[in-house]
Amino acid sequence: MLPVKSVTAMELHPDAIADSAKIREAALREQPPAARNDTERFLSRSEHTMHQLRSYLIKRKYLEKVASDTLKWAERNGLVDDRRYASIYIRSHSHNSLMGNFRIRMELKKRGISDSITDELLSEREESDLYRILVKTIAEKYGHLEKEKALRRAMGYLQRRGFPYDLIGRVVNEALRNPEEQSD
């Protein structure tokens, strides 16, 4: 898309024959400042990945070259950083909205985060803290239900969030054992 002033400067009107090379040249000259402004506005709302920013710019109808140059500019200026995004995402889903490594890996892949970044950050995740949080969450959420119903619901809950079966078994056993068993 070209601004009206560019269309006027090129003396285009409804019956004019347009020179596509001139139009592309004008677009390459006119789009970068607008793309940078859009990028700053988009990234000021929340953290995003390079993949999300590229999709946003393409959806806004910027030329591929302008989108690529804008991505490089945003990364160079620290406006977008996939590692930072993944770190925030993992931290958030280790405390607030619990997710297992499998589900986190899937969600980050959907957002364009590379496997190497995901693997590195997930290896740093504190299993003992996560385990404690899971036990507490399951006990609060399902501890008041009868044993069989609580087991089914807790296991389904943890499976949907991508936790491995061995961890699910340990968490559910500890969280839902009888108070008499806990004193042993």
Side-chain-facing half-sphere of 11: CA atoms under 13 Å: 1
Alpha-carbon span 181 to 54, nearest angstrom:
55
Contact 27, 59 (CB under 8 A): no
- Read off the pLDDT of residues 26-77 as tens digits, 9 standing for 90 and up: 778 889 999 999 999 999 999 999 999 999 999 999 999 999 999 999 999 9
> Mean pLDDT, to the nearest integer, of 93-98?
78
**Cα distance from N-terminal residue to C-terminal residue, the chain:** 73
- Read off the pLDDT of residues 112-163 as tens digits, 9 standing for 90 and up: 999 999 999 998 877 777 888 899 999 999 999 999 999 999 999 999 988 9
**Cut 0.75: pTM above it:** no
Strand intervals (E) in the chain? none
